[in-house]
Chain A
């Protein structure tokens, strides 16, 4: 395995892991609002958070480019603040991975939160607990395995991300070239050796991720008394 291949693996792992860390708190808040509150606009929140699941990743990437690019309001603001444009940087790969995996993570979190018995939450409230205490002491521990499973699924999706990344971050070797992008390049330029090695790495990481995910789901809940 060459140094550049190792670099590609590191870029991929970095963007996937950072993407997961980025969506963990947002995913928890969004899922909690959807499952535990009765706001009228919850359906809209659920729709928007699921949208990247149904959209072609290229379209998601295009929107992201539109938001982060130097012509948009947000892009301009960030550029004026840090003198730095986020599009076509390694940070853009993190955003791309985060957005495409967000729906899967939120869906898993919703299922996990729904599996926490609302009667137990009601009981905790009767014993004096407020919303935050109920969430930390009851909902979260009861859904912990579901949350872990959701993060693993999200990681798997982030790791395999291609379409949105190539649009918003390009395919810059040593900077934004993740494993899927590098495999694509290697196939195009005719380097089957490198492509094969990266494919094997992808398969191994996918098997490990899904293996842990499936086992977590299987032993997902606490035994009821």
Chain B
């Protein structure tokens, strides 16, 4: 489905001008606070009416000033996942999830039990929202939006309030869900990490305007202040053993990684999380370092962001992001195709169960 828009919106003293053409997939909308990301989404949901212009979702016109079309919010078939999830407090999880589904009464694109399984909320159906943790509530909010069978799913910084342990698995589910549903997802964030992890395409915004549209590897992010630039890696693995010091030996494809665990058991599937800037790069294999994790990878891409450089290394079929300074990049004089060694302290790794 192609999404076409060209509109001007006034919201108080804020004026936003948006023009573009987007394809299916996950579109991340990134930019500093107050740049107009939410305003942009609100025009799609119908919560704000543009001053002029038009918004088209495939063949369906949501808004057109010239044709005097402004589809009411409840007829747009656009669902939103909010940062504060907005679950109905007087309804059980089951009723929350079914709310939009029952009203619209349209056949779902994917199996209901499959959504519940992917989002891991089957066991929560009879609970009330106040009995849920932040991550659970956010997953239920997501399920409610998906069950309403929308033509497009809008997500307004849905994971800002969640910690890394909670956020990682949800980001994974989202990617899976988008592929299954095959509808456009708009994902507002001010985190580069979420952008890299999620996007098929990126809209970069600043001061009420779209600066550029592109894929996450080519978009120019320099000189945009206020974007959180902590970039994370989330890697699937399985725990092989746990030492007495609570350090787990984790199998990731053919490689092994060591990371501290709290409650995880041997045999459980986990995500290993570490920040891109916690990785040290070496061009040679250093055998005598204190860090426990030494992983070889091939440099497949790199790009400069202000004073740092973000490298993408391929280890088997896993992409790992590494952030080093521009200075180090020049000092090491590395290029695409080089084999590099990543040194990761086990204490920098965080094991997330899902």
Question: Which residues from 179 to 225 on chain A have a C-beta closer than 8 Å to any C-beta of chain B?
Answer: 222-225
Query: Of the candidates A117, A127, A129, A142, which one forms a contact with B144 in the assembled complex, judged by CB atoms under 8 Å apart?
Result: A127
Would you call A51 an interface residue if the criterion is a C-beta within 8 Å of the partner chain's C-beta atoms? no
A173 to B76, CA, bound (A): 62
B257 CB to nearest A CB, Å: 36
Contact yes or no, A128 B100, CB < 8 A: yes
Task: Among A128, A138, A224, point to the contact of B104 (Cβ < 8 A).
Answer: A128
Residues of B within 8 A of A222 (CB): 89-90, 130
Is B172 engaged at the interface, CB distance under 8 Å to the other chain? no
User: Which residues of B lie under 8 Å from residue A128 when comparing CB positions?
Assistant: 74-75, 77, 100, 103-104, 148
Contact B89 A126 (CB under 8 A): no
CB distance from B7 to the nearest CB of A (A): 19
Chain A binding surface SS class: helix
Is B35 in contact with chain A by the CB < 8 A criterion? no
Q: A122-B47, A127-B79 are in contact. Are A225 and B73 (CB under 8 A)?
A: no
Assess the B137–A126 pair: CB atoms within 8 A.
no
What are the residues of chain B within 8 A of A138 when measuring CB–CB? 88
| CA of A210 to CA of B128, assembled, Å | 30
By the criterion CB–CB under 8 Å, are A126 and B80 in contact? yes
**Chain B residue at smallest Cβ distance from A140:** B90
A114-150: which have CB < 8 Å to B?
Answer: 117, 119-120, 122-130, 133, 137-138, 141-142
Question: How many cross-chain pairs have Cβ atoms below 8 Å apart between A and B?
Answer: 69
Q: Which residue of B lies closest to A223 (CB)?
A: B130
A126 touches B87 (CB 8 A): no
- Could you tell me the distance in whole angstroms from the C-beta of B212 to the nearest C-beta in chain A? 29
Known: A119-B86, A127-B79. Contact between A224 and B73, CB under 8 A? no
CB of B128, distance to nearest CB on chain A (Å): 8
* Contact (Cβ within 8 A) A130 B74: yes
What are 27 pairs between A and B in contact, CB < 8 Å? A119-B84, A122-B47, A122-B73, A123-B86, A123-B88, A124-B88, A126-B74, A126-B78, A126-B80, A127-B99, A127-B100, A127-B103, A127-B145, A128-B74, A128-B100, A129-B74, A129-B100, A137-B99, A142-B89, A142-B90, A222-B130, A224-B89, A225-B85, A225-B89, A225-B129, A225-B132, A225-B137
Name 7 extra pairs, CB < 8 A, besides A122-B47, A122-B73.
A119-B86, A126-B47, A126-B73, A138-B88, A222-B90, A224-B130, A225-B128
Which 8 A-B residue pairings sit nearest by Cβ, starting from the closest? A127-B100, A225-B129, A222-B89, A128-B103, A223-B130, A123-B86, A141-B90, A125-B73
